[in-house]
Structure 1
Amino acid sequence: MTMPPPLLVFTDLDGTLLSHTSYRWDAATQALDILRDIGAALVIASSKSAPEIIEIRAQLGWTNCPAIIENGAGILPPESTDTPKTETYVRLRRALDSLPANLRDPFCGFGDMTVAQIAQITGLSHSGAANAAERAFSEPGIWSGSAQLRAAFIDALHDHDIHAREGGRFLTLSYGRTKADQMAALTDAFAPRHTLALGDAPNDIEMLQAADFGVIVANPHRDPLPPMPGEDTGRITRTALAGPAGWNTAVLDMIARLNLNEGATKHG
């Protein structure tokens, strides 16, 4: 039987483990290596699609762990390279298109864009944008209308059981399952000694609050998250550095704080 990991890490990607501008994680290499050394588990928890996460998880070298995809709407099992096949996305788009024009028109979802347009607004390569367009459960998009109309848009979606969640870049529509929902099931399955969650955006708040320890990673490209319960006790902390550099420091600090680095190989 596999031993429970000493630490189960749940991490957002864009603006957290990945640089907001370059999508690279080089600055977090030291912490990623030490997590492996101590037998920790790393669960990507992102609004990205399965094809995107399949590629990123393989590049990171964590294919042995499951991943939370499309903002918590689905799970990508360990070692899986298959994109989930569901009718959920088709149903969501149908509901979206049924809204009155004054509410529907200001929302431009990935399903309304060409791959070239997705590449332009995300900064992804053409192949990366094509992966981002392969949705199974949720629809990221950009809202261009007023705040008042946005509230009416979200209320209208609720009538279809669709929820809107603000991420690092986009307003993402889904049928309500969150990163925290999936996190609870995976924590039960792994039975770790400690859990740590890292994120930078409103759609990470529930995940940060559900973990034993949470880290709000600085992202100068968006408004900072509001003060959260647990910050006064140190259960939730904030990084000074942005993106993967902040992620690296926070994870190393947590490993030291929990005395988990005994026997870990030194990485310079």
Structure 2
Amino acid sequence: MGLIVFTDLDGTLLDHDTYSWEAARPALDALKERGVPLVLATSKTAAEVAPLHADLGLGDTPAIVENGAGFYRPADGVAQDAGDHAHIRRALADLAPELRAGFRGFADMTAEEIAEVTGLGLDGARRAGQRCFSEPGIWSGADDTRAAFLSGLGMYGVRGRSGGRFLTLSLGRTKADAMAELAREMGASRTIALGDAPNDIEMLQTADIGVVVRNDHGPGLPLLEGEDAGRILRTDLTGPAGWAAAMLSLLDDYDAKDPAHG
């Protein structure tokens, strides 16, 4: 198939405050013109991804959901086995109360509370709460307690990853793992990945070209392996505007190297 693009959503393809992708439209159109598949790779659930996937016109292209813990395949719908999420919730319940107290997961919140912490509308918040593979939440405890909290969960095979807004618990599978699986399945000869948060680092470093999209609201990313060699780039603009600028530049380079794709 050739080139495949993998992208994070919040703070990357979607504006941090408005969740709009409008500023990325020129680059999205350029990908479609070239027949380059766009794979969404996000912490969002399949229920959240489905309407956005349709709005973007991505057809049958699969998406990576819940930070790499699962896939959304349009033909299969959004209903999936929630055994992983149940396992995570049991592990949380088994922790000592003083460790458990610092974490408030989505399953501990009402839809109204999820809407408040995410900025989503109520319908979007309900979809965000339909977890199958992972449990995002807010850590409000001390840093040393956080380390003990994650160590305790590790006894159950549960791992924690920090994203742009939340601490997300899963059984350890990453966006990079899912990207590698789909790249093989779809016959990619070259991959580009774009992201903005710590939970994107492995994906950025695994791709042939990684793009760190500037996000002034997030924790930022340290210098990554591959930046000095130019394999990982950074945008000057934030969110979807930065995404579009980087993507159009990379497509120009791709066309120049293989005019058949121009």
TM (norm. structure 2) is 0.96
Task: Kindly provide the CA deviation profile for residues 1-27 of structure 1, in whole angstroms up to 9, marking residues without a partner as x.
Answer: xxx1x3200100000000010000000
1:92 deviates by 1.1
Given residue 89 of structure 2, which amino acid in structure 1 is its aligned partner? R
Specify which of 5, 10, 14 is matched with residue 9 of structure 1.
5
Q: Report if the CA contact (8 A) 1:217-1:247 is conserved.
A: yes
Does the 8 Å CA contact 1:70/1:137 hold for their aligned counterparts?
yes
Kindly, what percent of the aligned residue pairs are identical? Answer: 51
**Deviation above 6 Å: which 4+ runs of structure 1?**
none
- Work out which of the residue numbers 23, 28, 48 in structure 2 matches 1:27: 23
Q: How many residues align?
A: 261
1:86 and 1:125 mapped to 2: Cα distance? 24
1:73-222 matched pairs, under 5 angstroms:
73-222=69-218
Partners of 1:212 and 1:171 lie apart in 2 by: 27
For the residues of structure 2 that align with 1:124 and 1:25, how far apart are their CA atoms? 15
Structure 1: give runs of 5+ residues left out of the alignment. Answer: none
- Counterpart residue number, 2:45: 49
Take 1:256 and 1:160, find their aligned partners in 2: how far apart are those partners?
47
Deviations 1:132-177 (A, max 9, x none): 0000010000000111111111111101100000111100000011
Structure 2 gap ranges (5+):
none
Alignment check: 8 A CA contact 1:73 1:175 kept: yes
What is the root-mean-square deviation in Å for CA atoms of aligned residues?
A: 1.4
User: Contact 2:24 / 2:243 at 8 angstroms: preserved in 1?
Assistant: yes
Q: Partners of 1:135 and 1:213 in 2: how far apart?
A: 30
Structure 2: distance between partners of 1:188 and 1:125: 36
Partner of 2:226: 230
Kindly indicate which of the two structures has a greater share of residues assigned to helix: 2
Q: Which has the higher contact order (CA 8 A, sep 6+)?
A: 1
Give me the whole-angstrom Cα distance separating, in 2, the residues matched to 1:86 and 1:142: 21
Q: Is the 8 A contact 1:13 1:44 kept in 2?
A: yes
Q: Aligned equivalents of 1:189 and 1:160: distance in 2?
A: 30
